[in-house]
Amino acid sequence: MSVYKNLKTFPVGGIHPEDHKLSAAKAIEFLKIPDIISIPVSQHLGAPAKPIVQINDRVKVGQVIAESGGYVSTNIHASASGIVSKIDNVMDASGYKRLAITIKVEGDDWFEGIELSPDIKKEIILSKEEIIAKLQKDGIVGLGGATFPIHVKLTPPKGKIADILLINGVECEPFLTSDHRLMIEKGEEILIGTQIIMQALGVSESLVGIESNKPDAIEHLSKLAKNYNGICIVPLKVQYPQGAEKQLIEALTSRQVPIGGLPIDVGVVVQNVGTAFAVYESIQKNKPLVERVVTVTGKNVQNPSNFLVRFGVPISNLIEAAGGLPNETGKIISGGPMMGKALNTPDVPVTKGTSGILLISEAESKRGEVLNCIRCAKCVGHCPLGLEPYLLMSLVEKGFYDQAQQEQILNCCECGSCAFTCPADRPLLDYIRLGKSIINQRLREKSPK
Amino acid sequence: MNKKLVVSLSPHTYGKDSVTRIMYDVLIALVPAFLVSIYMFGFGALRVTLIAIFSSVLFEYLIQKFMLKVKPTINDGSAIITGLLLAFNVPSNLPWWMIIVGSFVAIGIAKMSFGGLGNNPFNPALVGRVFLFVSFPVAMTSWPVPIVTRFKLIDAVTSATPLSIVKEGLKNNIAASELASKLPSYADLFFGNLGGCIGEVSALALLLGGIYLIYRKVISWHIPVAMIGAVALFSGILWGLNPEKYMDPMFQILTGGVFLGAIFMATDMVTSPMTPKGMIIFGILIGLITVVIRVFGAYPEGVSFAILIMNAFVPLIDKFCKPQKYGVVKVKNG
Ligand code: SF4
Ligand code: SF4
């Protein structure tokens, strides 16, 4: 099957969901900007940005329209040019109404100084500090799904030093292909972005992990990487959830992040390939983060595609462009089938965290009947973090939160492997999430702040 | 969009595993042993098996429907397995009503009174068997001679099992080497040409089923290998100490319920430990207890008792043998 031998992967647990990379061969297409877009001011982890424009202001693409609301926060830029028509709450993918800036689109005027030519600029001229400041200014966040502002990750706390940068090109979620396409079409830019991040971190080694089901991306990047010092492409075994930070770190470096710790505690910083590309555009082209690649897919989708989409474009537009909503759609998911979030309406905007839109048929949307646990231990064997999901679920059910905490329920990364594999269709992860939120709530109440 | 969308938490896709699939895999794995038993014991085996399965399923249905007032789950296949395994654990000439009593004890007491599939601490079929064994010791230990009895429904031609021949012989101070000449050859033991419970006679047929179950990932190798290995090891030690007084390890693993127990009874997921480490400890202790009962105890056979005893320790083993949690060992200071 695979041409690669002795592929690395993380050592414990994991599953093999069926692969459906329907849009893997579809080149990235630019999606037409609709007449009206709503740009949420909270598209990243941390404090929402604060709007600095007023109604009827004329804005250009790339112009800052909301300023960073704190250290863990970034700027938000206009992703289309036109007139600010509304600053009001709109429904976003979270299912809640939150503040967004609505723009009536006119033309496609970019802010001064942003370079739009496709010419590749290799030479990095900015210093470490300048790079980090610029990335914050340009609103760069982790595009792998967590949307954590990059400048925070690039500024390790005192006493902690990074010695290796990992670039996540795993894309282990079935169906999603946006990172895959980006690696094939923007390989050079991704590697330059990687070098920029290495420089900002002061590390001389970087590993790019890619699962072996993307041989074209591995081959392409390996060829390019020969010209870049310290960047090595590592093919990985296909094993979900390898794209999860902790699993990727273990697969590539055999290091384990201590419980309650961060990757930096073991000298590692992880960035996604999409982020590396955004870093390239910010530093080399002066282009803030206003768009991203989004996969639109599903077994019944007429034309599964990869679109380059401006933030704020409604998801319904993407579905339309991929051939429309199939009749038998039961679920619309933002993200992949394993960790994505079900939406209650497609009328929400694409944001920095939107990696894909997956349409699932009605038949496949329904869960099976919940049976008694038959103690088959599959959930235990497949948990990549060595947890005992059946036990955690029953502790939460009984309200034994202290015990659940002792069993490290908070370390669960919500990968869903346990629920995926349970033959009794037990809603393991639902209960684990519930337990986590109750325990976190209690911890917050207890903490002195 | 006027249609209602389903909004539920991730994951949004599920594996193909289901409880029913697991149960039917176990049934498929039991087919070779069932065929051998019919070849060896003929109608008698068929009769016992059908009565056991039918009464087990019926008891499960009646209890769920009329006593517990829940939706009967007889479709999941687990009651069929209990019936089949119970049949495998009794002689082919057992009176019909005893089989029904055994089924009732297995399903009604050992399974349903604990809350049904998944909640029973002891293997139901074994509880049924041990109950019968203790209540009707004579009927449970008169073994039809294989092949000879094939065409008769209930047969009076009975013989002792190899294990009971040995037990009696050793008690009367006959040397083990001399006893060996009175016993079936190892080939007969392996293929199943010996007196005994319906399902435990052919090690080969059971092994085939076991390989299928491991291939289908329904069971893992840990319990069978640990248990059979432990029987061989501990009986080997005794044999090494005094070959005139103790039988050799090959004899010990090929006779009685070792293969049936190791592959189908001890591996019952509901009543066995969850982690590989726990499974190995569980298997080894079952093997040890089996040898101790056989060699030093009052009964010639000890597998059922050994498994039931260890079933009781499963919660303890599970507490003791937790999986290695990610990020716990390598905590760095600072
Ligand atoms: S318990 Fe958490 S980390 Fe473990 S498999 Fe389930 S969702 Fe994944
Ligand atoms: S996978 Fe499901 S049935 Fe199996 S032990 Fe876990 S919770 Fe129980």
3-state secondary structure B105-159: HHHHHHHHHHCCCCCCCCCHHHHHHHHHHHHCHHHHCCEECCCCCCCCCCCCCEE
pLDDT computed for residue B299 by the predictor: 80
Whether B325 and A384 lie within 8 Å, measured CB to CB: no
User: Looking at residue B176, what is its pLDDT?
Assistant: 77
The residues, any chain, with a CB within 8 Å of residue B137's CB and separated by 6 or more, are: none
User: Helix, strand, or coil here: B301?
Assistant: coil
Question: What's the CA-to-centroid distance between A366 and ligand 1, angstroms?
Answer: 21
- Please answer yes or no on whether B332 and A256 come within 8 Å at the CB atom: no
Ligand with the closest atom to the CA of A379: 2
The predicted model gives B57-70 an average pLDDT of: 92
Check residues A182 and B168 and name the one with the higher pLDDT: A182
CB atoms within 10 A of CB A141: 27
**Nearest-CB residue to A411 (from B6, B271, B327):** B327
Any CB–CB contact under 8 A between A27 and chain B?
no
Lowest mean pLDDT among A246-250, B28-32, B181-185, B219-223: B181-185
Q: Is the CB of A416 under 6 A from ligand 1?
A: yes
For a ligand 1 pocket test, name from A387, A405, A422 the mutation site with the most ligand atoms within 8 angstroms of its C-beta.
Answer: A387
What is the position in ligand 2's atom list of the atom closest to the CA of A393? Answer: 7
* Secondary structure (H, E, C), chain A: CCCCCCCECCCCCCECCCCCCCCCCCCCEECCCCCEEEEECCCCCCCCCEECCCCCCEECECCEEEECCCCCCCCEECCCCEEEEEEEEEECCCCCEEEEEEEEECCCCECCCCCCCCCCCCCCCCCHHHHHHHHHHCCCECCCCCCCEHHHHCCCCCCCCCCEEEEECCCCCCCCCHHHHHHHHCHHHHHHHHHHHHHHHCCCCEEEEEECCCHHHHHHHHHHHCCCCCEEEEEECCCECCCCHHHHHHHHHCCCCCCCCCHHHHCEEEEEHHHHHHHHHHHHHCCCCCEEEEEEECCCCCCCEEEEEECCCEHHHHHHHCCCCCCCEEEEEECCCCCCEEECCCCCECCCCCCEEEEEEHHHHCCCCCCCCCCCCHHHHHCCCCCCHHHHHHHHHHCCHHHHHHCCHHHCCCCCHHHHHCCCCCCHHHHHHHHHHHHHHHHHHHCCC
Residues 367-426 of A with CB under 8 A from B: 367-368, 371-378, 380, 383-388, 390, 408, 411, 414, 416, 419-425
What is this structure's pTM? 0.89
In the reported structure, the alpha carbon of residue A301 is separated from the centroid of ligand 2 by a whole-number distance in angstroms of 33
Q: Who among A376, A388, A420 is closest to B11 (CB)?
A: A420
Q: Which residues in chain B are contacts of A259 at CB distance < 8 A?
A: 325-328, 331
Q: What is the CB < 6 Å shell around ligand 2?
A: A 373-379, 389-390, 421-424, 426, 428
A422 CA → ligand 2 middle, Å: 5
Question: Does A425 contact B324 at a Cβ distance shorter than 8 Å?
Answer: no
Residue A43: name the closest of A349, A273, A329, A324 by CA.
Answer: A349
CA distance B312 to chain A (A): 15
Instruction: Find chain B residues with C-beta within 8 A of A246's C-beta.
Output: 326-327
Whether the CB of A355 is below 8 Å from some CB of chain B: the reply is no
Q: What is the pLDDT of residue A314?
A: 95
Residues of chain B with C-beta less than 8 angstroms from the C-beta of A12:
323-324, 326
Nearest CA in chain B to A327: B3
User: Which of A291 and B138 is assigned the larger pLDDT?
Assistant: A291
Residues paired with residue A30 on neighbouring β-strands, in sequence order: A308
Rg (CA), chain A: 22
Q: Is A147 left (phi over 0), alpha (psi -120 to 50) or beta?
A: left
Specify the pLDDT at position A419: 95
pLDDT at B82: 96
Q: Which residues are A333's β-sheet partners?
A: A342, A358
**DSSP 8-state secondary structure symbol assigned to residue B185:** P
A259 and B328 within 8 Å at the Cβ level: the answer is yes
pLDDT at position B159 is 66
Which ipTM score applies to this complex? 0.88
Contact map slice: A 82-101 vs B, CB within 8 A: 95
Contact between B327 and B282 (Cβ < 8 Å) = no
Mean pLDDT by 10 residues, chain A (449 residues): 75 89 90 94 90 93 92 93 93 88 92 90 91 94 89 91 94 93 95 96 95 94 94 94 93 92 94 96 95 94 94 94 90 93 92 93 87 94 95 96 94 94 95 95 81
Residue B156 has pLDDT above 90, yes or no: no
Higher pLDDT, B328 or B294: B294
Question: In this predicted structure, what is the pLDDT of residue B334?
Answer: 38
Give SS3 for B50: helix
Nearest-5° angle of CA A255, CA A257, CA A263? 95
Question: Phi/psi at A138 (nearest 5 deg)?
Answer: -85, 5
Per-residue pLDDT, A24:
87
Task: State the DSSP code for B82.
Answer: H
Cis peptide before A241 (omega within 30 of 0): yes
DSSP B10-41: SP----S--HHHHHHHHHHHHHHHHHHHHHHH
The beta-carbon neighbor of A342 closest among B7, B116, B272 is B7
